[in-house]
Amino acid sequence: MSVRTPSIAFGSSWLGEPIEKYADWLSEQGYLTKTVASRVPLLIRFGEFAWERGAREWVGLPAHLDAFIEHQTHARAETLTAERRRCYQNELRGPIEQMLRLLVPGFVGRGRGRKSDPFHDRAAGFFRYLYEERGLREASVTQYRHELRAFEAYLDRIQLQSLQELSPTVLSAYVIDRSPRLSRSSIIGFCCALRVFLRYLHRQGFVPEDLSRTVETPRAYRLSSIPRSISWGEVGRMLEAVDRRSAVGRRDYAILLLLVTYGLRAREVAALTLDDIEWRRERLRVPERKAGHSTAYPLSPIVGQAILQYLRQGPDSPLMKESIQEAQGSRRHMQLQDVRKVLPRRSDPAGYKRGR
């Protein structure tokens, strides 16, 4: 092996041959020419540093790696916080260790993906960009690191090695894969981080087109976690738990039957009057439905009996307007909020856990 005097020019560096081998390997892995060219000056500086410290054979280069990183970090000590220092050191270490794995038999280094920033060897400079250009705080950068580590793990799982292979299909599949495990706010957060990362990749030339527009945040509604309905078993337990020995219990029992039997809204139950029940024809008329419509239903014997038991045994709180005016005169009418309070009050004793 011939030893050459180091210089700034690529061809005259004593590491010219391994650097060229490493550049060829990067190209084979799908790295852009711009990315490969950006790493060459770092490798040349490392070669010069090792030469000045007495290195004359490639196999001895790993012994100078930590000292080189410390030397480079010290030169920027005044501009680096503790977190930025770690980020900068990872950006230095990644390309050099990649080259040494190709060059030195048995060299492992610290390995990829343990304490290093995600994509430190495929999108160098991203976290420095977050700090220096976007001016983000440590907590925000930590969140980006968490989100991108999850994205990196997903790409490893599907065996996508080159960022140039990213596509709208891959990104959409990742969003669909991860969203079910996250809350509404977390989904918005990781989609935002992913879009910022994709814009950076395009700006730096790591990918040929801007894919950030293809990342759409899935629709997540504020109350989407609340169950749309409860099972018939839960309905039965809730009705059985109502104590009908009291007037309030008989009233709530009648209201619950109207809700679960006919699917009425709370407003529709509150608006019912005795005139809406045709006892002889066994019909229940619901006049104030949505959009101003009215509907007539067959009067269920169970519902009719529950209403009669409540009315005949002297209500403390009115279920229907006319019953109050005829029997209690000055008592207030059933209000919408009265009906809305029935289900929460009766579901807890029945052991049904509501969404909120």
The secondary structure of residue 54, as a DSSP letter, is T
Distance spanning both ends of the chain, measured CA to CA: 73
Q: What is the mean pLDDT of residues 73-100?
A: 85
Q: HSE on the CB side for 194, CA within 13 Å?
A: 27
User: 212-270, pLDDT tens digit by residue?
Assistant: 888 887 665 666 666 666 777 888 888 888 888 888 888 888 888 888 888 888 888 88
Beta bridge mates, 295: 286
Fold of domain 122-225: DNA polymerase; domain 1 (1.10.150)
CA pair distance 304, 297, nearest whole angstrom: 12
Please check the confidence at residue 356 and state whether its pLDDT lies above 90: no
User: Which helix (H) or strand (E) segment is 297 a member of?
Assistant: strand 295-298
Asked if 354 and 267 touch (Cβ cutoff 8 Å), the reply is no
Angle at 302 between CA 341 and CA 349, to 5 degrees: 35
Residues 6+ apart with CB under 8 A from 33: 27
Compare 121 and 12 and report the one with higher pLDDT: 121
Q: Where in the chain is the domain with CATH 1.10.443.10?
A: 232-347
SS3 label, residue 247:
helix
Beta bridge mates, 285: 296
Q: What is the structure's pLDDT at 335?
A: 67
Q: What is the structure's pLDDT at 111?
A: 53
Residues 6+ apart with CB under 8 A from 98: 22, 121
Amino acid at 76: R
63 to each of 46, 50, 60, 352, how far by Cα in Å? 12, 9, 6, 65
The secondary structure of residue 335, as a DSSP letter, is P
Q: How many CB atoms lie within 10 A of CB 225?
A: 11
Share of residues in the chain with pLDDT > 70 (%): 81
CA pair distance 227, 214, nearest whole angstrom: 31
Asked if 196 and 209 touch (Cβ cutoff 8 Å), the reply is no
Asked if 229 and 343 touch (Cβ cutoff 8 Å), the reply is no
The secondary structure of residue 217, as a DSSP letter, is P
> How many residues comprise the chain?
356
Where is average pLDDT lowest: 131-145, 259-273, 277-291, 319-333?
319-333
Closest by CA to 311, choosing from 320, 301, 300, is 320
Q: What is the mean pLDDT of residues 115-137?
A: 83
DSSP string spanning 204-221?
TTSSSS--GGG-PPPP--
Q: What is the mean pLDDT of residues 344-349?
A: 67
User: 139-184, pLDDT tens digit by residue?
Assistant: 788 889 889 989 999 998 998 888 888 999 999 999 888 888 777 7
Q: How many CB atoms lie within 10 A of CB 12?
A: 12
Beta bridge mates, 284: 277, 297
Q: Extract the tokens encoding 192.
A: 């935002």
Q: Where in the chain is the domain with CATH 1.10.150.130?
A: 122-225
Asked if 88 and 80 touch (Cβ cutoff 8 Å), the reply is yes
CA pair distance 341, 345, nearest whole angstrom: 6
| Exposed / middle / buried, residue 214 (Cβ in 10 Å: 0-12, 13-18, 19+) | middle
User: 14-30, pLDDT tens digit by residue?
Assistant: 888 888 888 888 877 77
**What phi-psi label fits residue 291: left (phi over 0), alpha (psi between -120 and 50 degrees) or beta?**
left
Average pLDDT, the chain: 79
- Which letter, b or e, does each residue of 99-118 get, where b requires 16 or more Cβ atoms within 10 Å of its Cβ? bbbebbeeeeeeebeeebbb
Q: Extract the tokens encoding 101.
A: 């794995």
Closest by CA to 61, choosing from 7, 20, 97, 23, is 97
Q: What is the structure's pLDDT at 333?
A: 57
Q: CATH for 232-347?
A: 1.10.443.10
Torsion from C-alpha of 116, 118, 122, 127, nearest 10 degrees:
-90
